[in-house]
Amino acid sequence: MKKVFLLLILGCILFSGCGKSTQKDIIKEFSKKLENSTGYYLKGDLSINNNDEIYNYDVEVYYKKNNFYKVILTNIANQHTQVILKNKNGVYVLTPSLNKSFRFQSDWPYQNSQIYLLDALFHDLKVDKDYTFEKSKNQYIFQTKVKYPNNSKLVNQKIIFNQNGCPRKAIVYDKNGVEIMVMTFDKIKFSPNMAKDEFEIEKIIDTESSDKMSKKSSLEDVIYPLFVPEGTKLVNEEKVKKNDGQRVIMNYDGEKSFVLVEETADVFQEFTVIPTLGEPYQLMDTLGVITNNSLSWSSGGIEFYIVSDVMSKDEMIEVAQSITGIVSMK
């Protein structure tokens, strides 16, 4: 009996460390999976919370070492797909339903936290020396700081691992502890076989562009933001006819003045790449483009532009969120 007991103790020490440094073992296993693989493929679900309105996406990610990324985001409500692509030629946000893409000279995804990229989650773990850890049944829960320069309200995240060192879920919180983004990982495969043209624009357009958005000939209603910075108000509104649609230009004046443009989205006959400044930005129901003084996006067949020399990025985002929420409910 004593021999059996000693063997059990020895097994505990050798194989589990009797509970010591469990978090280090999980991080080490996660690191090994990333470093020893040629890349990964994952599939999961992303939800984004905006004032209790939830926006849901199907997410697929293809990653190949040496800077190749493809993130496919499909809005579950309207089945519109957008793609963030990084290949040897640059960074792109493709909207197949409009037959167009924005091209960025950007170092995305390295300057921001990224809830759906495994290597970005690992980077957050590695750089945060003050992360917290807890174990719950077969789950290993890490809490780390996050870096979202374009949205300072996002401050920390929980990354939940299974006992094999693979993430099961990531949750990003705002400063009030509210869950803003939740990514659930349904499938992760390391070193998958990938086609040679997996990261080529032509393949993405051929695969995703079968459902072209129908062209709107007019703006049925002007959509006004529900949030406007204090001391700012609408002072002028102008409607302009386009060759194939309409445009509305709204001027807001005051302490935080800005211009808001709404226009019927252009669906290009041939696939078009538009060079642009800025970074991809995930709004609630769509991907947009954000710079230091502008934010643009498409939603519900309408293209939106906010331009301001005095508003912060957080303020532009808040205005945009108060518009996009209305569009998605129409």
Does residue 175 share a domain with residue 37? Answer: yes
Residue 114, pLDDT score: 97
Does residue 242 share a domain with residue 125? Answer: no
What CATH number has the domain bearing residue 155? 2.50.20.10
For the segment 262-268, the average pLDDT, to the nearest whole number, is: 90
For the segment 301-324, the average pLDDT, to the nearest whole number, is: 94
d(C-alpha 145, C-alpha 135), whole Å: 19
Q: Is residue 226 part of a domain?
A: no
Does residue 241 share a domain with residue 145? Answer: no
> Per DSSP, what are the bridge partners of residue 294?
307
Does residue 249 share a domain with residue 158? Answer: no
Q: Is residue 216 part of a domain?
A: no
Residue 10, pLDDT score: 39
d(C-alpha 278, C-alpha 254), whole Å: 26
For the segment 213-238, the average pLDDT, to the nearest whole number, is: 86
Does residue 163 share a domain with residue 259? Answer: no
Residue 273 reports pLDDT greater than 70? yes
d(C-alpha 34, C-alpha 219), whole Å: 48
Q: Is residue 310 part of a domain?
A: yes
Does residue 242 share a domain with residue 202? Answer: no
Residue 325, pLDDT score: 61
pLDDT (tens digit, 9 = 90+) per residue, 235-254? Answer: 999 999 988 889 999 999 99
Q: Is residue 215 part of a domain?
A: no
Does residue 188 share a domain with residue 83? Answer: yes
Residue 3, pLDDT score: 46
Residue 330, pLDDT score: 45
d(C-alpha 148, C-alpha 87), whole Å: 23
Structural domain boundaries enclosing 143: 17-208
Q: Is residue 136 part of a domain?
A: yes
Q: Is residue 274 part of a domain?
A: no
Residue 187, pLDDT score: 97
For the segment 314-326, the average pLDDT, to the nearest whole number, is: 87
What's this model's pTM, rounded to 2 decimal places? Answer: 0.88
pLDDT (tens digit, 9 = 90+) per residue, 14-32? Answer: 333 334 447 889 999 999 9
Residue 214 reports pLDDT greater than 80? no
Q: Confidence band (pLDDT; 50, 70, 90) for 301?
A: confident
Does residue 191 share a domain with residue 44? Answer: yes
Does residue 248 share a domain with residue 179? Answer: no
Q: Is residue 72 part of a domain?
A: yes
Q: Is residue 271 part of a domain?
A: no
Domain boundary among 208, 224, 245: 208
Does residue 239 share a domain with residue 203? Answer: no
Does residue 251 share a domain with residue 188? Answer: no
Residue 9 reports pLDDT greater than 50? no
d(C-alpha 18, C-alpha 142), whole Å: 20
Q: To the nearest whole percent, how much of the chain has pLDDT over 70?
A: 89
Count how many domains the chain has: 2
Does residue 325 share a domain with residue 198? Answer: no
